[in-house]
């Protein structure tokens, strides 16, 4: 394995020898102003002149790939970075299993690959658009910096996909790269491609839930694409995963700190009943039942991102060697799955039941199962905090049939335990499961900025450690 040095001399930092690839270099340089215009129009609102203590990728060696420094966001060095090429890598699954990986796009899989890369690319700017208003209500400079770090890295992930489109898909790729800058999250005429990326992220609890749940879909999908027989895609996704880990850290620790603060305030005030919402809210913290409702919302919206439980697209992509399973290389079956089955939760005669389906068709379901297991790990940690205060409350993931818009359960209404409800019952109980207008208004009322170093809004505890081991009073953003 050789680690190519990153070239920082040109407009676009890269480790793909862009200097010797005049066609792609020109295409990316031509795309660059449109990207900066998009960032200025749709990236974080305000703070563009502020100095933000950001990490920038300067290499792809897992032992030391980033450096930290104050940067104005529009001057961030968005670059094209691929994980090192692995000598002799073979296609790990599907009908081409064991053949050499492809360094060029196989003609027969061109459309399929392009579609997957475009969908992946579309989510990156979408999330920046969704989060663009949050800077002005940041609960601390530490959190503001983390938001902007996530935003610039999502921008870099867009660059990663655009590089693949420009390099390997000719004129179609250039058109798709332009279209990625034209769609807008939530726009009635030109929305982003996947449902969850057109939802609002109106407050910081939503932001942390989004980075916990939705960025975790990013992790699962990138892990599946990192297995790809198309080696440039695999290498690109492998490096994106390195950055993605921080985004989920922001989500998990953000929610932990909110829970921590709520529990502390309840204890100080001698409130033992977590359902005494009125009293808890008077303390200026977010009650645990509302945190649960936000988790219900973001988890269910994110489940939709896995597509239908039974999917020919997923079967074809696996069979072709284009998109694998979560950590395919650690699985011990034949990696072809032509004779296997997988249990799929389906709606049969109005009841939710498991049914064995051909394993190839059930790959979205399988990835979703891996995702749910991964979500539960951090939730266990949230519950440990609540337990340590002796408060009788447990955050739980809702049933996978709850509040779905894609797939098997989009036709029914189910409660959080997975019982099928009549439409009238759903309308009556919806506010017990999902944030109501009053819940949203309450959370919004707390979203007041706290921009003094070392200070935090009333509803969130400080982090245990600073970014880059900086001390508590460190000024993560110098606001201009």
| Among 194, 233, 337, 379, contact with ligand BYC (rule: CB under 6 A) | 194
Residue 44 CB, nearest approach to ligand BYC (Å): 15
Residue 112 CB, nearest approach to ligand BYC (Å): 10
Q: Which helix (H) or strand (E) holds 324?
A: none
Long-range contacts of 254-257 (CB under 8 A, 24+ apart): 254/143, 254/146, 254/204, 254/207, 254/208, 254/211, 254/212, 254/460, 255/205, 255/208, 255/209, 255/212, 255/291, 255/295, 255/378, 255/382, 256/381, 256/382, 256/385, 257/460, 257/461, 257/462, 257/463
Could you tell me the two tokens for 198?
């057109």
| Among 151, 221, 234, 262, contact with ligand BYC (rule: CB under 6 A) | 221
Q: Is 116 in the site for ligand BYC (CB under 6 A)?
A: yes
CA dihedral 151, 232, 121, 67 (to 10 degrees): 0
Q: Is 218 in the site for ligand BYC (CB under 6 A)?
A: yes
Quick one: which segment of 97-105, 281-289, 303-311, 353-361 binds ligand BYC (CB under 6 A)? Answer: 303-311
Q: Is 119 in the site for ligand BYC (CB under 6 A)?
A: yes
Residue 170 CB, nearest approach to ligand BYC (Å): 21
The residues pairing with 341 across neighbouring beta strands, listed in sequence order, are 358
What's the full length of the chain, in residues? 480
Q: Is 217 in the site for ligand BYC (CB under 6 A)?
A: yes
Q: Is 364 in the site for ligand BYC (CB under 6 A)?
A: yes
| Among 24, 305, 395, 477, contact with ligand BYC (rule: CB under 6 A) | 305
Q: Is 154 in the site for ligand BYC (CB under 6 A)?
A: yes
Q: Which of 35, 41, 249, 217 is nearest to 132 (CA)?
A: 41
Closest residue to ligand BYC using C-beta atoms: 307
Can you tell me the distance from the alpha carbon of 344 to that of 367, in angstroms, rounded to the nearest whole number? Answer: 11
CA 326, chain centre distance (Å): 15
Residue 29 CB, nearest approach to ligand BYC (Å): 25
Can you tell me the distance from the alpha carbon of 43 to that of 160, in angstroms, rounded to the nearest whole number? Answer: 18
Integer CA distances (angstroms), 329 to 89, 165, 367, in order: 12, 26, 14
* Cβ proximity to ligand BYC, 94 vs 274, nearer residue: 94
3-state DSSP assignment of residue 346: strand
Quick one: which segment of 117-125, 289-297, 412-420, 438-446 binds ligand BYC (CB under 6 A)? Answer: 117-125
* Cβ proximity to ligand BYC, 82 vs 224, nearer residue: 224
Q: Is 42 in the site for ligand BYC (CB under 6 A)?
A: no
Q: Is 242 in the site for ligand BYC (CB under 6 A)?
A: no
Quick one: which segment of 159-167, 292-300, 305-313, 461-469 binds ligand BYC (CB under 6 A)? Answer: 305-313
For tokens 């676009």, the residue is 12
Could you tell me the two tokens for 244?
């993605």
Q: Is 127 in the site for ligand BYC (CB under 6 A)?
A: yes
Residue 244 CB, nearest approach to ligand BYC (Å): 8
| Among 84, 191, 195, 358, contact with ligand BYC (rule: CB under 6 A) | 195
The residues pairing with 129 across neighbouring beta strands, listed in sequence order, are none
Q: Is 215 in the site for ligand BYC (CB under 6 A)?
A: yes
| Cβ contact 402:302 at 8 Å | no
Q: Is 307 in the site for ligand BYC (CB under 6 A)?
A: yes
Q: CB 306: neighbour CB atoms within 10 A?
A: 25
Q: CB 51: neighbour CB atoms within 10 A?
A: 17
Residue 462 CB, nearest approach to ligand BYC (Å): 25
Q: Which helix (H) or strand (E) holds 70?
A: strand 66-72
**Binding residues for ligand BYC (CB under 6 A):** 116, 119-120, 123-124, 127, 154, 194-195, 214-215, 217-218, 221, 304-308, 311, 313-314, 323, 364, 406
């Amino acid at each position: 394995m050789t680690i190519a040095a990153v070239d920082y001399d040109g407009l676009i930092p890269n480790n793909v020898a862009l200097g010797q690839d005049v066609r792609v270099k020109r295409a990316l340089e031509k795309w660059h102003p449109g990207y900066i215009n998009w960032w200025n129009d749709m990236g974080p609102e305000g703070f563009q002149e502020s100095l933000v203590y950001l990490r920038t990728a300067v290499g792809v060696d897992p032992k030391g790939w980033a450096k930290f420094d104050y940067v104005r966001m529009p001057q961030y060095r968005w670059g094209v970075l691929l994980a090192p090429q692995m000598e002799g890598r073979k296609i790990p699954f599907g009908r081409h299993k064991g053949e050499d990986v492809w360094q060029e796009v196989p003609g027969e899989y061109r459309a399929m690959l392009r579609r997957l890369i475009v969908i992946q690319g579309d989510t990156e700017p979408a999330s920046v658009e969704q989060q663009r208003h949050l800077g002005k209500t940041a609960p601390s400079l530490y959190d503001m910096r983390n938001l902007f770090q996530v935003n610039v890295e999502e921008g870099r992930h867009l660059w990663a996909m655009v590089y693949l489109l420009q390099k390997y898909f000719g004129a179609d790729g250039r058109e798709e790269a332009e279209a990625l800058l034209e769609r807008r999250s939530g726009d009635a005429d030109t929305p982003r491609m996947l449902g969850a990326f057109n939802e609002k992220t109106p407050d910081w609890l939503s932001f942390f839930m989004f980075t916990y749940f939705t960025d975790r879909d990013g992790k699962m999908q990138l892990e599946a694409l990192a297995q790809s027989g198309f080696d440039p895609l695999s290498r690109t996704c492998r490096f994106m995963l390195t950055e993605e880990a921080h985004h989920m850290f922001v989500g998990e620790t953000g929610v932990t700190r909110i829970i921590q603060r709520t529990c502390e305030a309840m204890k100080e005030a001698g409130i033992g009943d977590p359902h005494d919402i009125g009293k808890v809210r008077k303390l200026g913290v977010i009650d645990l039942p509302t945190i649960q409702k936000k988790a219900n919302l973001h988890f269910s919206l994110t489940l939709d991102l896995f597509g239908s439980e039974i999917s020919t697209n997923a079967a074809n992509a696996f069979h072709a060697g284009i998109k694998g399973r979560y950590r395919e290389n650690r699985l011990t079956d034949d990696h072809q799955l032509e004779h296997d089955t997988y249990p799929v939760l389906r709606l049969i005669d109005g009841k939710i039941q498991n049914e064995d389906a051909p394993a190839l068709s059930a790959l979205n379901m399988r990835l979703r199962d891996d995702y749910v297991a991964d979500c539960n790990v951090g939730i266990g940690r949230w519950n440990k905090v609540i337990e340590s205060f002796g408060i009788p409350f447990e955050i739980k993931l809702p049933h996978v049939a709850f509040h779905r818009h894609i797939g098997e359960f989009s036709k029914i209404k189910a409660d959080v335990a997975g019982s099928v409800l009549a439409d009238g019952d759903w309308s009556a109980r919806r506010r017990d499961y999902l944030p109501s207008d009053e819940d949203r208004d309450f959370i919004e009322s707390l979203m007041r900025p706290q921009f003094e170093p070392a200070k935090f809004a009333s509803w969130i505890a400080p982090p245990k450690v600073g970014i880059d081991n900086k001390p508590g009073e460190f000024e993560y953003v110098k606001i201009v």
